[in-house]
């Protein structure tokens, strides 16, 4: 009997160490702060991470507001981005023609999810509810319609399911809206895709069969672009 008690003593001590600790333990306070933050962070069983303030970024493809780190937006960065765009198209980029039409309301006004962008653009159709989310989809855009050079992706999604080849990306760039529109017009034409310009509210739109790029100026001076492709 004594032997059984002695054998159980280490187990009791181990369990008391696991369950009997307290928040005032000096060893706990001495943990590496990065490791401590990771261990103490809420688990993903909290479906909306409601205990954290991350711009209400949802786990279902919601587009975060300001959830990306700062990036270069200097005049030197603008010059470099435009130079990269010209290299991509192998020469100077001519200004796009004047918009052929205008509407007072933007189709994408107040849209807050990638699926919503696909649906509101008119290109998602039934595929809007079959989107997978992840920045990898920004790298899977058609060659003729890439993210503008040095652009900073905010959110992305897409699908390669049968009958649903869809790509949706929102990104920002310090390059002006007009230069972005000219790039997509020239790039689409170089890829033998039709291209037309129009204005929808505050959006400048470059669109053709199977794609649309919506560009607008944000309050912080950056150009925000929603790029949607379908079947390309």
* 160 within domain boundaries: yes
* 167 within domain boundaries: yes
* 105 within domain boundaries: yes
* 65 within domain boundaries: no
* 142 within domain boundaries: yes
221: left (phi over 0), alpha (psi -120 to 50) or beta: left
DSSP conformation class of 193: -
Tell me the pLDDT tens digit for each residue of 24-38: 444 444 444 433 333
Average pLDDT of the segment spanning 125-145: 95
User: What is residue 114's predicted lDDT score, i.e. its pLDDT?
Assistant: 94
User: What is residue 72's predicted lDDT score, i.e. its pLDDT?
Assistant: 76
58 or 104, higher pLDDT: 104
* 206 within domain boundaries: yes
* 183 within domain boundaries: yes
* 68 within domain boundaries: no
Tell me the pLDDT tens digit for each residue of 103-134: 989 999 989 899 999 999 999 999 999 999 99
pLDDT above 70: residue 59: no
Total of domains in the chain:
1
Burial 141-163 (b: 16+ CB within 10 A, else e): bbebbbbbbbbbbbbbbbbeeee
Max CA-CA distance within the chain?
Answer: 94
Where in the sequence is the domain holding 206, given as residue range(s)? Answer: 75-230
Both tokens of 173, joined, read: 């760039």
pLDDT above 70: residue 205: yes
Distance, CA of 101 to CA of 99 (rounded, Å): 6
Cβ(89)–Cβ(190) under 8 Å? yes
pTM, 2 dp: 0.72
Distance, CA of 115 to CA of 155 (rounded, Å): 11
Average pLDDT of the segment spanning 142-152: 97
Average pLDDT of the segment spanning 45-66: 39
Nearest Cα residue to 173 out of 63, 92, 80? 80
């Amino acid at each position: 009997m004594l032997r059984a008690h002695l054998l159980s003593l280490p187990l009791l001590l181990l369990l008391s160490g696991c369950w009997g600790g307290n928040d005032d333990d000096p060893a706990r306070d001495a943990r590496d702060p990065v490791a401590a933050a990771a261990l103490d962070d809420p688990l993903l069983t909290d479906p909306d991470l409601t205990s954290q303030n991350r711009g209400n970024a949802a786990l279902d493809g919601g587009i975060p507001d300001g959830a990306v780190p700062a990036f270069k937006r200097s005049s030197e960065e603008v010059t470099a981005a435009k130079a990269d765009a010209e290299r991509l198209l192998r020469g100077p980029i001519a200004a796009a023609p004047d918009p052929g039409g205008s509407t007072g309301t933007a189709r994408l006004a107040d849209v807050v999810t990638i699926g919503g962008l696909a649906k509101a653009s008119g290109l998602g159709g039934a595929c809007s509810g079959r989107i997978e989310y992840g920045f990898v989809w920004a790298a899977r855009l058609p060659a003729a319609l890439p993210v503008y050079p040095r652009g900073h992706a905010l959110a992305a999604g897409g699908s390669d399911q049968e009958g649903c080849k869809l790509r949706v990306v929102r990104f920002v760039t310090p390059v002006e809206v007009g230069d972005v529109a000219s790039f997509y017009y020239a790039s689409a034409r170089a890829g033998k895709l039709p291209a037309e310009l129009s204005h929808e509210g505050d959006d400048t739109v470059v669109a053709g069969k199977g794609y649309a790029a919506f560009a607008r100026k944000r309050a912080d001076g950056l150009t925000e672009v929603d790029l949607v492709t379908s079947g390309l």
